[in-house]
Structure 1
C-alpha cells in the first residue's frame, strides 16, 4: 500500500521537524533569562521549562500538580495575593506579578511572572501559559535604594541643622524637624509649595537654593546676599553665606547657610538642598572679643602716649629699666588675655569645624557658651588689672617740666602736704614735724617739690611707721653749694637689698600694699631729672632717712644763714 507508506513517511518527517523546532525552542529557552510555565484548567502547574534549577535557585518540579498559592509565598500582602487569585479564577491575563519563595539555599528568591489564559477548540478554559523571571538581585537592589532613601530621610529629619530641599520647579520636597523649629512652619504646611522664602523673610524673594537652581550668576546672587557670600570650595555651583534674619526669633538670628545643587543621572540640575545654622552665639562672642581687643588696644595706645610724654619731657633717666619693669608687670595680665583670646579662637574654630562636618550637638554648643563666658571673665579681670597699672603709671606724666622755676617757701608747701594727712595721722597717733624755717626760700619747681614730699610721706605711712608711735620729720642743712633736705621716720627701715633697689621702677618690699613700686622711682626722677638735684637713702635705725640735695637751680639760703 504505497499511499499508506507515503503517509507514514510524511508523518515521521513532520514529527522530526516538530522535534527539531522544539529543540530550537528549548535551546532558546535555556539561553533566555526567563522560564516558561503552564497550568491546567484547575490552575495546577503541569510543566516548567527554560532556566535550570541552579539558575532558579529552586526545583520547580516540586510544585507540579499544585497551584501557585500553595507555594510558601512571601513578600506580598494578603490583599495582593487574593487579588491575584481572583484574577486567575476570572481567567484574565496578568503581568509582572511579584512574590518571593524560599530557594534551595533557604534564601528568599524574588520572581516576576506574567500569564495569559488559553482555551480549547470549544472555547472552554484550558489553563494558563506564561513566563517568569528571577528578579532577586534586582529586587535586592531596589530595596537597597528604598532603604537608602529611608535612611537618608531619617538622617535629614534627625539632623540638628535646619535643612530643606526643593525640586527644579522650586517646590519644597523636604522640610526637616530643625527647619520646623527654626521657622515655626511644619512640613505639612510647606511640602509641595513654592514658598521656601516664607519663614525666613517677610515678603516673597528667592532663597539661596532658588538661585542655585536657576544657576544665577554670582553678581546677581550678591545683590541678595551681600554679606559673607562665597563659592563653595568643595561643590561646583554651591554657595555659602551669612546674614541677619530679623524675622526669626524674638530679637532676630544670625544664620550661616549653604545651598548646593542636586543632579539627576543625566547630570542636569534636578533640585537644590539648603542648610541653615544659628550662629548668633558665635557672632556675639566675636563681637565681645573685638570689644575687649579694642579696649586692650586703647590701653596699649594710652601706655604708648604716656611713655611718649615721659620721653619728650626727658624725665626718665632710667628709661630702659622703666620699660623693662612695666613690661614685666604687664606680662602676666597680657599673657592671660592672650591665652584667653587664643582659647576663644580655638573654641570657635572647633565649633566651625564641627558645623562644617554636621557634628554640632546641643551639648557642644552649651559647652562653647560656658567656655566663652569663662574666657571673657578672665579677659575682663586681667584687662582691669592692666588699666589700673597704666593709670598709676600715667601719673608720671604729670611731672611735666614747667617753663621756668619760681621762688617759693618750702615750709609752706610742706605744711600743705602735712595738712592733707593730719587727720589720718592724728587717728593713728603719728606725729609730723616740719623743722623748716619760714624764711627759707628756694628758686625751683614748686609743684615738683610738693610731689616729692607727698611721695615720701606716703611711702613712710605705707611701709614705715606704725600706729601709736610714729614720728615723721623734715629738716634742712646748708651746704657750700646748696641745701640738703632730710626726710626721716622712725619706722622699720629698709634692708640693704631694699635700699639698693628702692629707686627701681615697680620695686616694693610689701607686695599688695600701698602703691605698685613707682613712688620712690617717681621721687628719684623728679629730683634728679626735673629739679636738678641728687637723692640717697640712709639707715637711721630705727627708721629711714631720705636725703635729697638741691643746688642746680639756684637754691638760696635765708639771709640769716649767710
Structure 2
C-alpha cells in the first residue's frame, strides 16, 4: 500500500513540475527575460533538469519530434537523431503493443495530456532501449494547437530485469512441474501453497480445490481424506527432526491398500524460523512413475513494478546540510517539508552494511570525477532498496557540487532474492528426492547433475559422474538400447515409462523404467530424467504370469469335467421327470381299473343270471308246459336284467372315456379349449380310489363357466401333484386332514387356482428349497423331490403362469396358481 502511495505522490509531483515548466515557457514566450523569471527561478529549473534522470522533448503541430534537451540525454544515450522528425508511432525500430499504440495515437491526436506511456526503440546499432513518456498539449494565445511538450525517462534496466525475472520464474515452474513425484508445500500456517501435477494425479484433488486451504474438505478422493488431513497437511513443529523420511500406509474407500513414501523438509527464513514445509510423496505400491515428471513450485514472486520512484539531492562537499527533494525524503522515510537535511541524518538512513560501499564510491568519485552508480538498503520496515547515481560538477563560484538521484528498486531486489530462494528450493528437492534423478547436457551427452538416489542406485560418486557420459561410466547393458533412447529424445523431446537395462558399478544388471523431458535453459539443451529400479517387480510379474497360465489350464480342465457332469445330470433329470409322469399315469390307470371292477362285475353277474333264466325258459318251452304267466315273468325279468347290464356297461364306458381323455392329455400335451371344472373333476374322479383309502377329504369349489384355451394335460398333472404332495407330506401326524381346491376369475384374461391343506406346514428353510429338484423331506418314503419342481416348470413354462407358495409350521400350506386364459404358444424345436 505504501509503495502505491509513493507512486501516486511521484506522479502528482511530476505533473506539478510539468505544469510549472509549461507555464514558465509560455510566460517566457510572451515576456522579456527580465520580466519572465528571476535568475533564481531559472537556476532552479536548470538544476532540476540537470539532477533528474528525465529529459524533455517537444513536438510540433504535426506531432513530429522537434527538440530534445536535458542533462541526462547523453548519459542515457538517447538516439535524438533517430527520433527527430518522426511521430512516435513512426519511429524506426519501434517496439510496442499495437492496441496500446493505437490508443495512445488517438489520445494525442485528440490533443489530450497523457502520463507514463511505455514503448521500446531498437537503435540502428542494435541496442534496445525502453522509454516511459508523459506529455501535455500546448496552445497559443488564440487557442490553436501548437504541439506537445513532455518528459521521458529511460526504463531499459528495469524492463530487462523484469523480463529476466519472468524468464527465470517460467523456467523454474517448468522444471518443478516436470518432476515425476508429488510435491506439497505448506506455509507456516499450514495452508497449501504448492500442489503440483503429480500430486493432483496421486491424490485426486485438483490444485484449485486445495491451494490456500488447510485440509481436503469436499474432496471426493478417499485417499485425500484419509491421508492428507492426518499426515500430509500438518505443518512441521519447529523442534522436529528434519529432513524426515517415512513410509505410511492408507486405505481407500474401495478397500485398496496404498503405501506412500513421504519426505519432509522444512523451510526457514533468515531468522531461522520455520516458514514452511515441503513434502515429497511417492506411490511406492505400484512402483510406477507418474506421467507428469516435475513438481511445480509456485515461487511467490511479485511482478516487478513498472513505476520507479525518483528522488534528488544537492550537496556541497564539507557542508553540514544537503538540499533534498520531497521524493527523496519519502524514500528515506523522513518527515516531509524539511528539504534541507543534515548530511549525517541522510547517511544514517542507509543500512550500516551499505555505508562502506557508499563511502568507497564517494572516494572514487572524488579521485577520478567519473559518475558512480551503486545500490544500498534503507533502514525501513518495508525493506526498501535504492539505486543511487551521482556525479560532481563545478558551480559558477568554482565550488564542487554533488548531485545525486535515487530510484526505488525494492521490487527488483525482492525478485532477485525470491529467484535465489526458488533456486535453492529446486536444489533441495532435486537432491533429496527418493527417485533417482539426473540432469544431462544433450549437446555434449554428459551428466550435469545427479542426486543422491541416483548415486546410490548406480554406485557412482558425484565428482566421478560430473561431466561424463553414462556410456563412459559403463551404466548401459545394451549400447543399442542407449541409441534408441537418444533417438526417441531427439524425435519427441520426452520419454515416458520406457523399460531399459542398466549396469550398476557393483551387482547384477537391473531393469529400470526411464522417464524424462527435454528442457531449454540459458541456451543449453538439457534432459531431466528419472530412473526407477523395477527388477524385483518384473520378476514377480513373470512368476504371476506363469501361475496364471497354469491356473487357466486347470480351470479349463475342470470346466470341461463340469460340462460333462452337467450333461449327465440333465439327462438323469429328464429321465426322472419322465418316470414321475409315468408313475402318475400308472396311479391313474390303477384307479380306473379299480373303478371299472364294479360295473364289469355287476354286468358279469347279471349276464350269468340271464343265461340261466334263458336255459330254464328253453327247457319249459321244449317240454310244452309253457304258460302265459311264465312267459310274462320271463319277459319282465329279462327286461330288468338288460336294463341293469346296460347301466353297468354305460358306467364302464364313461370311466374309459374319461381315462382316455386324461391319459391322452397327460401324454401328448395337446392344446385345446376346455372347461376348467370338467377337466379338474375328471382328474379327481380318476384319483377317487386312492382318496377312498385315506382318512382325508378333498373339497372342490369350481365355477361352471371358466373356459381356457390351454394345455389340459400339464394342468391335470399340476392338480395331481398338488394332491399327491399333500397326501405324502402334509398329514404325517394327523388322523383326519382337509384339502381344498378352488378356482376363480380375477379378471377377464386370467384364472386363479388355489390348493390349500390344513396339514403340518413348512419351515422357512424348507420353503426356500421346496422347488429345488431332488429336494424332499420324504426321501426313502416315496418322495422323489421332483413333484413341486415339475409343477413350477409346467406352470411357468408350458402354461405361462406364476406359482406362489405360502406356509408356516402348524398352519398348513397354500399354493396359488395364476394362469392366463389363453396360454402362450409352445416353442417347437
The TM-score range, normalised by the shorter chain, is 0.3 to 0.5
Which of 1 and 2 has higher RCO (CA within 8 Å, sep 6+)? 1
Structure of larger gyration radius: 2
Q: TM (normalized to structure 1)?
A: 0.42
TM-score between both structures, scaled by the size of structure 2: 0.29
